[in-house]
Amino acid sequence: MQKDLGDYRKSYEKGVLSESDITKSPFDLFERWFLEMDKKFPDLETNAMTLSTIGLDGFPKGRVVLLKMYSQNGFIFFTNYNSEKSKSMFANPNVSLSFHWEGMERQVIIKGISEKISSTESDSYFDTRPIGSKLGAYVSMQSSVINSRKELEDKLNNLSIKFKNKPINRPDFWGGFIVKPVEFEFWQGRSNRLHDRIRYRTNDNINWKTERLSP
């Protein structure tokens, strides 16, 4: 199988990232871009991000997860603590988050340190989930090998009966991680491949140094 993709090209013309756009805190610029994307493309998952980790086998791996909360403290998502990605983060908490907002021709890459959030915070979020999602957390032993999809569907049916008209509490093996950033890179596509790239770096999450990078 072979296909030449050399002619797959487009010119990026939808925006600029000038020095006047740079905020003191990268969280402020992130929020501005996030809200702009969310407003202009409400049907897309603006909160979809690629989480990249270093696996126990030594290889990097990225997968799309959904950002559920963000603040000056960091970026929170939820998963099974026994999953491949969780095991990777427990072994090596250094991770990367990437947001690709094609509609705005923008990308944000965040390097940070991951850690579990408190049980109370995970409980609070779990309580807001639809019933099907709560049951799904129990059904899926994420990343483990299964014999067929029917195995999942049978387990879901059994749990639906078990929990009918009963509260569904968060399982201990499911919860949140927070990624505390040490670096942000904001990318805005420009014409002639002369893209705008602004990097923020910090040692204390308070004072941020900004630099313009060559595209």
Helices (H) and strands (E) in the chain, counts: 5, 9
Give yes or no: 193 in active site.
yes
Of the candidates 9, 129, 149, 193, the residue annotated as catalytic is 193
Contacts of 119 (CB under 8 A, 6+ apart): 175
Secondary structure (DSSP) of 120-131: HHHHHHHTTS-H
The residues annotated as belonging to the active site are 193
